[in-house]
Structures are given as structure tokens and as C-alpha cells.
Amino acid sequence: MAVQNELGTDTSSGRVSPFYDPRIRGIVFQAALVIFVVVLVYIGASNAIENLQSQNIASGFGFLGNTAGFAISQTLIPYSVTSTYGDAFVVGLLNTLLVAAIGIVLATILGFIIGIARLSSNWLVAKVATAYVEIVRNLPLLLQLLFWYFAVVKSLPSPRESYGPLAGIYLNIRGLFMPKPVFGPGSWLFDAAIVVAIVAIVVIWRWASQRQAATGQQFPTLWTSLALFFGLPLFALVVTGFPVTFEMPELKGFNFTGGMRMEPEFVALLLGLVIYTASFIAEIVRAGIQAVSHGQTEAAGALGFRRGLTLRLVVIPQAMRVIIPPLTNQYLNLTKNSSLAVAIGYPDLVSVFAGTVLNQTGQAVEVIFITMLVYLTISLLTSAFMNWFNLRMALVER
Amino acid sequence: MSVAYVRETPAEALPPPSTAVGAIGWLRANLFNGWFNTILTLVGFYLVYIIVVPFLEFAIFDAVWTGENREACIGPEVGACWPFVWAKFGQFMYGTYPDPQRWRVDLVAVMFIASMVPLAIPGVPYKRWNAIFFFAIFPVLAFILLVGGFLGLELVETARWGGLLVTIVVSYVGIVASLPLGVLLALGRRSKLPIIKTFSVVFIEFWRGVPLITVLFMSSVMLPLFLPDGVSFDKLLRALIGIALFSSAYMAEVIRGGLQAIPKGQYEAGQAVGLGYWQSMRLIILPQALKLVIPGIVNSFISLLKDTSLVLIIGIFDLLGIIQRNFTDANWATPVTSHTGYLFAGLIFWMLCFGMSRYSIFMERRLDTSRR
Amino acid sequence: MTNKFLPWLVAAALGVAATAAQADTLADVKAKGFLQCGANTGLLGFGSPDDKGEWKGFDVDFCRAIAVAIFNDPTKVKFTPLTAKERFTALQSGEVDVLVRNTTWTLSRDSQMGLIFAGVNYYDGQGFMVRKSLGISSALELSGASVCVQTGTTTELNLADYFRANGMQFNPVVFEKSDEVVQAYDAGRCDAFTTDASGLYAERLKLTNPADHMVLPEIISKEPLGPVVRQGDDKWLTIVKWTHYVMLNAEEAGVTSANVEQMKTSDNPDIKRMLGTEGTFGEPMGLTNDWGANVIAKVGNYGEVFDRNVGPETPLGISRGLNALWTKGGLQYGPPVR
């Protein structure tokens, strides 16, 4: 793997023997690498094909259309025992994306809070935040997940002795149960109102930032957005005469039925991922904030900014440029780490597909191939998006 | 001529108000300056109270310290069941490595520590020989001792290894094998030869893009199918190969950071004195770059050490795995057994990782010449 | 840069064992000097290592019996603990010579995985365990229950089938390893725990209070458990198959590890053929003629192995049931040695 021509040796003189010619060397080395890789892939593939054929092991992707025959505890799409392995794959993928998406949001919020707290002038808060980071970061995530699942969930009460802090909300070892809104006829207006509110908010944000850039006048975008987001749908409900009923969870037989429920596996996985990842995000945020020159804070102080405002308008926007690239890595780590779900029985992609489906079909090569491809796609897409976002943040610099 | 009411000497400075100095002053300045901070402080105290007090009660005050079996640890309000840990301590450290052979593991551990400590402390002489021993000779010696099967040593199958032994073996092999691979990949990624560069980028991004658990599944259920008929690897070795490839991608990125930090002048200086590519890399660039990334390497080691616990999912019993397996021992089945086990695993992992992270910070400060 | 050779050095020395995955397993096993047996990662009574790492159990003894048939030495066997997921690949790839890991014989495993079952050494069926405090007496009352189950097993499919067939709802909680399933059930995460009935008896011993739990009477599936070998090596299949049968025949004829030496002088031609004192039945298999006598002497007959590991006198306390000899109303039937 030599890279002789990096050294810029003069190759035009013609007096160099071909053996020392960097260009020829480069070509030879690269050719050797290509041959090596091709041979390795060929040997591996031919071995695999030979092994599979000679031992009469099924191959190909046809199995995705076969009936799965097993049940899954948490499904975001309709899934039953008679669904196919392909459906099971989609269920697993959606579960992974669900826990990753919620985990990323919560870990970011918690990470920023802890990161800022570490720099707090309040001695106790700073120490607590430091202790949090140093303890959580230095323990294996798997240990933390097992702890949350087997040690903490274990101490929750049985369904018959549930905690019921509020009417309709129950917490027990089978999960967290909540009332589920059921939308009757006429609720289309409610859905429409949400869409309209979101569109309106985007428009207002754009208009407000343009106006501020042009005239310097500020507009209370945050409050307006909140009012729109909650007000419009509420208005829609009032107009249509509340076509919403709530399905309450009820204790029937062994378990609660009806309502919405969060599986303990989901809660434990989310808790573990958020707490673990937040400790890394906190360190990134702290480093980012410390990278902003202290003069910026002082200048803001001189202009009469309050502390919170300084942080929000001066320090964090500048820190973001340092923060975003490592933050991307943490998001990817969280997504990949969600695969540890397999240890605590949350039906994510690895658990359902690379676990159960692999076991039932025995087609290890195809299943592992698809699983790895999915994670690669997710991570490449996330990188691409964050690069784009990073570029935008960088351009804000004036 | 003196006026009686005019002082000739400056008055003694009054002591600062009692609210600004000493414990009270410190409290006011650091904990209770303003209503917001006061609330934060109170919330903080509450958090510490609800976490630290039950923890200490469980781990120390209510804990059971002696006993023969589960009977000792059953009862209301019982804390950690430490006799469980004492009884299983041998397993937690060695797995089911045969008792009469455990001196071999101990010997390896002594060699490991005796060669690592002087290597880690800056200023101890003979670094070069020390490093050669630690990275090249020690692995061979450790391999001979741990596996055996010749030189009169009884063969101990890797299926009998377990506990902390496996945790350390996996992370050490992961790091030692990933260093050279990582250097090659990092150089490859910075190469101007398109194929080599593409290959390195694809290799690195592939391993960085997939979760370790799928890599372990791959090595445990898929790799055997890719080997020629009749060749099979030991299960632990397969996991080690997977982990080494996986960590070499991360190592490559760490080393690339170091390579990028070397000023261009160094590369040019190498050319100016007529060194070839490999010569200038070996003699000028890498020694500087590798030194710069020592903290990064230590951090990789920390994450690898934590990640090794994943091997329990494919049925290799590392420290966490063997502790978990013992929860189902009927002799020790109590409501607090699993808490105790996790606490013990946590303490060991935390001491190792925290110690190394302190070391990494220390090296970072030492290497950071800009602050001096 | 000497380090880059390290992995290869380790590879070369540590584990790369050449074992013909296909052609002649017996010759291979003889060449390397020991039998590599795929075992459970830990199922009490059937196959699990004790604190010292010594393997014990019903399936483990069967591996030892094969080793005796070949080497006349029950210690010439090594065990590879395998998870449910790994077991078939390990066998397919030649990592193990035979898989004796309470594995259910099904059509698709015979037809699609390149494997073949050598017989049934344990007739099992899937059952449920519940807490006594739940106050139910039949699996049909389990509608709406959370059920803990291990992934990658026929159990998981049977469970879904059973609830569907009876029009009941359930919520599966699925784990990779049986220990995790037991822990979750013990924690109260599930109302019921399902696996093969034999497994229920074994796992019950791991619960905090075994007396608080009961096994429901329903057996919802057929689970013929048996040793598995690779397809395409009939000679090897024969050895594994007949090791089981010779142990059955020995029990039927009343030959035990204690009396096998006297029995060699027996006049009964069946016993003589079985113990190799008459005819040459071992040599065509590639074994010695007294292989049967060795197996009985060093490991014992089927009944002895059963009683020693899982029988009524052991903590598991399983009665023979379907696994009694055909002469005693069970299903275990050894074809004649002749």
C-alpha cells in the first residue's frame, strides 16, 4: 500500500528505473490490492455457495414472502401470526427507528442540560453533573440496560397492585398504560387543523426571521407557534363537537387491556440509551461551549444581555459549529446501540430479524446481509443529512 | 501640627461581612446567589439524597457480608448479598478455568501489569524494548501460557475461559490487532492512490456503520459458512476476529486525526532528506502521530473494554456474562442477587474505565504543548 | 509492525482445526482424537457445565456414549456450548461433529438445513409454567396473558399456533437465551413461561421460590428431541443412531453398566450380538466389535442415563412417561442388533 508518488518525486526525468517509478509502483500496489480483494471475495463466495449447495441449505430471498408464524409484542403496523417474514422485518425496522428517534430527541435534551450544568456557577449542580458523566460514561451500556430491565423493572408491582397516579394511567411490571384517544367521524377537521398549524408555523418563522433581518423588529414566534399548534386543533375539536373518546386501560384477567401501552422493554431500552448517550453529548456540549471565546460572553454582557439570553443567542449558536460533527456520531452510536435490545427482549430489527427470523429460516447469510445493509443505509443517510445541516450552520458565519 | 480628628494612619481594613467569607460566604457565592440558583441547589440536594442514600444503604449499611448460601440473604430490607460474590469470585475472574491451572492466568496477569505500568508512565526508560515486549513478545507468552497444549502445559480450551479473563483478553487482542491494521487503513485513507483510498474509506465506513452485535452474529453464525470445507475456527477466535476488524476501523479514524495534526513541513522535511514514503512514515511521521493519539487510543480501549460485554449475547461468558449466568444458581437465588451481581460488575468495569480515562486526560495534558 | 502477524499467529496456533465438514466424519474424529459435541449453553439435567466446568447431563452422556463407541474412552469428547441461533450453523460448518442439544426434529430442519436427525433420544412436549397464585388450572385460561419464550425455537411457533387455534390473545416476551427468559419470568414480567416440559422442570430449579410455581397439564405440541448430524455422511449417521439404539436394547435386555461383564457370557444371542461376543457387527460401522459393551460399561444403558440425570431421584424428578421402553408402554423402541 505504498504511496510513493505522494512524495512528488520527479517522474518525468525518465532516468528512474521502473522499479522505483512511483507511478508504476502505485499501479502495482493497487493492482495487488484489487487482486487480493477479488480473490478473497471469490474464495469466500465460492466456499459459501459450495457449502450451502452441498449441504442442501436453502438460499435466496424468497423466504421473505413465507408465513412467519410467530408473534411480536410491539408492532407499529398491523402484524399477526399469519404475516410474512417480510412483514416481521418491517415491524423490527420500525421499532428500531422508533426507539432511535425518541432516544435521539431525549438524549439531546438531557445532554444539553447536563453539559450546561457542568459549566454552571452553582457548585453543587456542576459537581452533580460531573459525577453523572463520569459514572455513566464509564459503565458498559449493556450492563446499564440489564440493570434497568432486570433490576429496576423487577421491582415494579404486579398488574393487580399497579401504581395509579392519575385516573387512567397505570404503571406496573407489564408496562405503562395510558388512555388512548379514539377519533370518531368528523375528526378529519382535527387532522387538517394540525397540518394547517404546522404549515402556518413554518411560514411565520420564515416571515419573522426575514422581517427581523430587514427591520430589526422581533416577533414572538415561539408563543405564536405554540398557540397555533395547540389552539387550531382544539378549535377544530370544539367546532366538530368533540368527536373524541378515550379508551381507558382496564384490568381484565391477568393484564390491562385497551388504552395505549409502553412495554417495559421499550422503556428500559429508551432509558438506558438516553442516559448513556446523554453523558457523551454532555461532554460534547461542554467542549463546544468552552471553545467559544470568553470575549463573546463578555461582549454580550457589555451589551446588557441576560445570562440565559447570552447562552441562547450568542454562545450556543457559535458552539453548535463545534458540536454538530461529534453530535452526529453520537446519534449514529445511539441508533447502532439500540441493537442491544436483543439482550432485554425489545423487538427491534436485530432481535426480530437477525434473531427470530434467522433462527426460524436458518438463512444466516441473507439475514445478516440485509440487517447490516439497513444499518449502513441509516448511518450513511444520517451522515449525509448532518453534513448538509453542518454546511448550513457553517454558512451562518458572517 | 496635628489635627486630632484626622487620622494619620489608614484604618485597619474591616473584616469582610460574615456572609461573604468562610463557609457561609462560600455557600452564598456558589450555591445560593439568586433565586434560580437556590432552586437548582435544592433540587440538586434532593437528587443526591434520593440516589446516594439508598445506594449506600443497599451496598454497605443493609448489606449481608457473610453467609454460606441464599439463606443468609433472604429477609425483608436486605441489601447487597456480598457472600454471593465471595462464593463465585473465582468464576468471575477465571470462568471455569481448571483450578490447578489458574496460576497460569495469574502469571499472565502479573506479566501484563509489570509490562504495562512502566510503559504507561512517562519518563521510565527503555520504552522501546518495553513496547516491543508488550505488543509482540507478551502476546506470544500469554498465548502459550493460557492455551497450553505443549511444553508440558495442559491444554485449556477457550470454552472454559471466562469472567474478567475473557474481558481483558478480548479487549487487549482487539487493541493490539487493530493498531497495525488501523495504521495501514489511516495511511490508506490519506493516500493519493484512488483504489487504495476508496478501499480504505469503504472498509472504514462499513465497519463504523454497522452495530457490533451484528458483527458478532456474523462471526458466530455466518463466518463458518465462508470458510472452505473442513476448516473451522474456535468460537472465541471468531469473535476476536470480528472485534479486531471492527475496532481497526475506529482505530484508523483516531490515527488519521494524529496524521492530520502533523504539519506539512514534516512531510516535506522527510522528502528533502531523501527518505522514501515508508521511511519517512516510519521514522518521522508515525512516531509523532502515534504519540499524539495516545489519549485517543486509550479512549478506544475504554470503549472496546465496555463493548466486550456484548460477547455474552453470542454465548461467550465474559465478566458480565458469567455474573448473569450465576443468577440462576438455585443456591443463591434471592431477590437481591441480580442487583448485587450488577453492582459488582459495575464496580469492576467502572474502576478500569475510570482509571484509564484519568490516564488519558493526564497524557492529553502532558502532550498538549500549547498550554506550557 | 510485527504486530500485524499476531492475529494470524494466534489463528494458526489457537483454533483453526481442520475437520472435514462432509466426507468422513468418523475418520476425522479418529484423526483428531476426540469427538466435538455441540451442547446447550446450560440446561440443568440435560447439558450444563458445573462450577468446575465439568459437563453433566442427559445429552452430555449421550455424547460420551458416542465417544466410547469410537475410542472406548468417555473423556475423549469436547463440548461446544451453542445458543439456539448458532447450533445449526455450527453443525453445518463442521465446527461440531454432532449436535446433541435438546433439538426438536421437524420436517424443515431435515429438508432445508442440510441436516438429518439420527433419532429421538427424548420424547418431549411443550408445556406452560405459571405462578400458583394466579389461580388457574388450564392453559385454556391463559387468554390475554404475557408469555415468556426463548427465540429461535419451535416453542415460539407452537405458542403462536396454540393461542391462534384456541382463539386466545397473548403478548410474547422474547429472549435470546434461556437464562434471560427464566429471569424475566421470575421477575414477574410474564404470567406464563413456556418451553419443552423437560425444560420447565429444569428451569424451575432456578427460580427464587420453585414451590410457588406449577406446570399446567396441557402439552401443546410434539417435541421429539434428538441428536443431529450433517447430511451426506451415512456412516456417521449410523454410528450416532445405533449408539442410541444399543443403549435402548441394553435396557430392554436388562444389561446395565454393573452387570455387563457377566452378561458377556450370557447365552442369549441378542445380548451376545449386542455386546460383540458373537458376530462382527462393529467392524462394518468402522468400530470395534465390542463397542456396544463399552458403551454400556462406561456410560450405561438408556434407563441408567435417564435416571442418573433427570429421573425421579434427581432434583428434576421427571418420570419416564413417553420415554419408557415400548415394553412398558412408552415410545422408546430399539431396532434389533443382527
What are chain C's partners, defined as 3 or more CB pairs within 8 angstroms? A, B
Asked if C2 has any chain B CB less than 8 Å from its own CB, the reply is yes
Low-confidence ranges of chain C (pLDDT < 70): 1-23
C186: nearest CA partner in chain B: B335
User: B303 and chain A: CB distance < 8 Å anywhere?
Assistant: no
Does B45 reach chain A within 8 Å, measured CB to CB? yes
Report CB contact under 8 Å: A150, B191: no
Phi, psi of C50 (to 5 degrees): -85, -175
Among A60-69, A89-98, A386-395, B31-40, whose mean pLDDT is lowest? A386-395
C-alpha cell at B311: 460477547
C-alpha cell at A252: 381484565
* Secondary structure (DSSP) of A3-37: -GGGG----TTS-S-GGG-HHHHHHHHHHHHHHHH
Task: Say yes or no: A285 and A349 in one domain.
Answer: yes
Candidate from C14, C89, C205 with C-beta closest to B330 = C205
Closest of C185, C198, C168 to residue C131, by C-alpha? C185
Whether pLDDT at A397 is above 60 = no
Domain closes at, from C204, C221, C238 = C221
Question: Given C22, C143, C174, which is nearest A347 (Cβ)?
Answer: C174
Sign of torsion over alpha carbons B238, B240, B242, B244: negative
CB contacts, 8 Å: C208 with chain B: 333-335
Of A370, C98, A42, C36, the closest CA to residue B228 belongs to A42
Domains held by chain C: number: 2
Task: Give the number of other Cβ atoms within 10 Å of residue C79's Cβ.
Answer: 28
Please indicate, yes or no, if residue C5 is contained in any of the structural domains.
no
Nearest-angstrom CA–CA distance, C225 and C153: 12
**Is B46 at the interface with chain A, CB within 8 A?**
no
pLDDT of residue A4: 46
- At C329, is the secondary structure helix, strand, or coil? coil
Name the band, by pLDDT with cuts 50, 70 and 90, for residue A224: confident
Residue C121, SS3 per DSSP? coil
CA–CA distance, C261 with C281 (Å, rounded to integer): 19
The answer to whether B99 faces chain C, any CB pair under 8 Å, is yes
Chain C CB contacts of A48 below 8 Å: none
Phi-psi region of A351 (alpha: psi -120 to 50; beta: other; left: phi over 0): alpha
A11 touches chain B (CB under 8 A): no
Q: Which amino acid is at C265?
A: T
DSSP state string for B191-247: -S-HHHHHHHHHHHHHHHHS-HHHHHHIIIIIHHHHSPTTEE--HHHHHHHHHHHHH
Nearest residue to B281 (alpha-carbon basis) of A6, A22, C7? A6
Q: Is residue C232 part of a domain?
A: yes
For C291, how many CA atoms within 13 A lie in the half-sphere containing its CB? Answer: 27
Q: What is the mean pLDDT of residues A255-261?
A: 76
Q: Cite the DSSP H helix spans in C82-151.
A: 87-92, 107-112
From CA A291, how far away is CA B66, in angstroms rounded?
Answer: 52
Q: Which residues on chain A are in Cβ contact (under 8 Å) with C146?
A: 174, 254-255
For residues C274 and C285, state if they share a domain.
yes
Q: Do B159 and C79 touch (CB under 8 A)?
A: yes
Q: Check residue C22 and give its pLDDT.
A: 46
Q: Give me the pLDDT at residue C21, please.
A: 41
Q: Do B231 and C18 touch (CB under 8 A)?
A: yes
Which chain B residues have a beta carbon less than 8 Å from that of C41?
A: 315
Q: What pLDDT was estimated at residue C291? A: 92
List the subunits that have 3+ CB pairs under 8 angstroms with B: A, C
pLDDT tens sequence across A338-371: 999 988 889 999 989 988 888 888 788 889 999 9
Residue A97 has pLDDT above 90, yes or no: yes
* ipTM of model: 0.86
Q: Which residues lie across from A182 on neighbouring strands? A: A245
Query: Exposed/middle/buried for C264, CB within 10 Å: 0-12, 13-18, 19+?
Result: middle
Bridging pattern class, strands C55-56 and C98-104: unpaired
Q: Is residue A43 in some structural domain?
A: yes
Query: If contacts are CB pairs under 8 Å, which of residues 121-150 in chain B contact chain C?
Result: 132, 135-136, 139-140, 143, 147
What type of residue is C101?
A: R
Question: Is residue A225 assigned to a domain?
Answer: no
Best of B245, B306, B308, B323 to mutate (most A CBs within 10 Å, chain A): B306
Assigned domain for C292 exists: yes
Q: Where are the domains of chain B?
A: 22-61, 82-97+156-371, 98-155
| Cross-chain Cβ contact C10/B95 below 8 Å | no
Average pLDDT along chain A: 83
Contact B244, B172 (CB under 8 A): no
pLDDT of B348 above 90 = yes
Say if A136 is an interface residue toward chain B (CB within 8 Å): no
User: Residue A111's Cα: distance from chain center in Å?
Assistant: 14
| Per-residue pLDDT at B230 | 64
Number of domains in chain A: 2
Buried b (16+ CB within 10 A) or exposed e, C4-39: eebbeebbeebbeeebbbbeebbebbeeeebbbbbb
Query: What is the distance between the alpha carbons of residues C66 and C82, in angstroms, rounded to a whole number?
Result: 19
Q: Are A137 and A41 members of one domain? A: no
Which of B220, B216, B212 is closest to B306 using CA atoms? Answer: B212
* Closest chain C CA to residue B174: C7
Q: Check CB contact under 8 Å for A55 and C232.
A: yes
Contact C195, C153 (CB under 8 A): yes
Contact A254 C134 (CB under 8 A): yes
B-C contacts (CB, under 8 Å): 141
Task: Find where cell 471492527 sits.
Answer: B246
C21, C117: one domain? yes
Q: Please list every residue in chain C whose beta carbon sits closer than 8 Å to the beta carbon of residue A72.
A: 172, 174
Domain identity same for C150 and C31 = no
Domain boundary among C221, C237, C272: C221
Q: How far apart are CA B330 and CA C203, in angstroms?
A: 10
Distance set, CA C298 to CA C107, C118, C209 (Å): 34, 22, 37
Residue C63: the pLDDT is: 95
- What is the rounded distance in angstroms from the CA atom of residue B280 to the CA atom of residue C175? 53
Residue-level pLDDT at B368:
67
Between chains, do B234 and C9 touch, taking CB under 8 Å as contact? no
Q: CB contact, 8 Å: A60 with chain C?
A: no
By C-alpha distance, the chain B residue nearest A365 is B222
CATH number (domain holding residue C135): 3.40.190.10
Q: Is A1 in CB contact (< 8 Å) with chain B?
A: yes
Q: How far is B33 from chain A (nearest CA, A)?
A: 8
Asked whether the predicted pLDDT for residue B60 surpasses 90, the reply is no
Instruction: Identify whether residues C260 and C283 lie together within a single domain.
Output: yes
In CATH, what number does B82-97+156-371 get?
1.10.3720.10
* DSSP string covering B268-286: HHHHHTT--HHHHIIIIIH
3-class SS at C82? strand
Co-location of C59 and C86 in the same domain: yes
When CB atoms are compared, the residue of C88, C164, C172 closest to A73 is C172
Among chain A residues, the shortest Cα distance to B204 is held by A376
d(CA C118, CA C331): 16
Q: Is the predicted pLDDT of residue A242 greater than 90, yes or no?
A: no
A266 and A324 share one domain? yes
Between vectors from CA B208 to CA B368 and to CA B244, what angle results, nearest 5°? 85
pLDDT in tens, B132-186: 888 888 888 888 888 877 777 777 877 788 889 999 999 889 888 888 899 999 9
Please check whether residues C44 and C94 belong to one and the same domain. yes
Which range of residues forms the domain containing residue C74?
17-123+224-328
d(C-alpha C70, C-alpha C68), whole Å: 5
* Chain B interface disruption, residue of C1, C35, C87, C115, most B CBs within 10 A: C1
Task: Verify whether the Cβ–Cβ distance A7 to B271 is below 8 Å.
Answer: yes
- Kindly state whether residue A206 falls inside one of the protein's structural domains: no
Same domain, C28 and C111: yes
A88 pLDDT above the threshold of 80:
yes
Phi, psi of A141 (to 5 degrees): -60, -40
Residues of A in contact with C84 (CB under 8 A): 359
| CA dihedral sign of residues B133, B138, B139, B140 | positive
Same-domain status, C136 and C200? yes
CA–CA min distance A121, chain C (Å): 44
What local confidence, expressed as pLDDT, does residue B370 receive?
52
Identify the burial level of C137 via C-beta atoms within 10 angstroms of its C-beta, where 0-12 means exposed, 13-18 middle and 19 or more buried.
exposed
Q: Helix (H, G, I), strand (E, B), or coil: what is residue B79?
A: coil
Average pLDDT over residues A205-222: 83
With a pLDDT cut of 90, the percent of chain B lying above it is: 13
Q: Residue C22: its chain B contacts at CB < 8 A?
A: 229-230
Q: Would residue A58 count as lying in a domain?
A: no
Q: Confidence band (pLDDT; 50, 70, 90) for B244?
A: very high
Q: State residue C267's pLDDT score.
A: 87
**Type of residue found at A202:** V
Same domain, A92 and A135: yes
Distance CA B310, CA A145 (A): 12
Evaluate whether residue A239 is within a structural domain.
no
A-proximal residues of C, 89-118, CB under 8 Å: 89, 92-93, 109, 111-115
C-facing residues of B in 282-311 (CB < 8 A) are none
User: What is the pLDDT confidence band of residue B369, given thresholds at 50, 70 and 90?
Assistant: low
Q: Distance (Å, rounded) from C-alpha B164 to C-alpha B318?
A: 6
Residue B229, pLDDT score: 66
- Residue at A57 is within a domain: no
- Which stretch of A267-281, B67-81, C292-306 has the lowest confidence by average pLDDT? B67-81
**Same domain flag for C95 and C131:** no
* Whole-number pLDDT of residue A272: 95
Q: What are phi and psi of A97, to 5 degrees?
A: -65, -40
Asked if residues A390 and A324 have their Cβ atoms less than 8 Å apart, the reply is yes
* pLDDT, tens only, B258-310: 888 888 888 888 888 888 888 888 888 888 888 888 888 888 889 899 988 88
B355 touching chain A per CB within 8 A: no
Of C6, C80, C93, the CB nearest to B227: C93
Shortest Cα–Cα distance, C182 to chain B (Å): 8
Same domain, C228 and C118: yes
DSSP character at residue A60: S
Mean pLDDT of the B26-45 span: 81
Kindly identify which residue of chain C lies nearest to residue B234, measuring between CA atoms. Answer: C15
* pLDDT of res. A396: 52
A336 in contact with B, Cβ within 8 Å: yes
Domain end residue (candidates: C221, C245, C270): C221
> Looking at the structure, do residues C240 and C317 belong to the same domain, yes or no?
yes
- B252 vs B74, more confident: B252
Residues of chain B in contact with residue C49, where contact means CB-CB under 8 angstroms, are 96
Supply the DSSP symbol for C98. E
pLDDT of residue A26: 80
A92 and A48 together in one domain: no
Domain range holding A265? 85-179+248-395
The confidence score (pLDDT) of residue B288 equals 84
Q: Do C85 and A69 touch (CB under 8 A)?
A: no
Distance of CA C226 to the CA centre of its chain: 6
- Domain membership of residue C11 (yes or no) is no
- Are A105 and A25 part of one and the same domain? no
What pLDDT does residue C255 have? 92
Which residues of chain A neighbour C90 with C-beta distances below 8 Å?
Answer: none
Q: Which segment, A130-144, A205-219, A375-389, is predicted with the most confidence on average?
A: A130-144
What's the pLDDT at C256? Answer: 92
Q: How many CB atoms sit inside 10 A of residue B352's CB?
A: 20
Which residue type sits at B20?
A: A
Q: What's the pLDDT at A14? A: 52
Q: Could you tell me if B194 lies within 8 Å of chain A, comparing CB atoms? A: yes
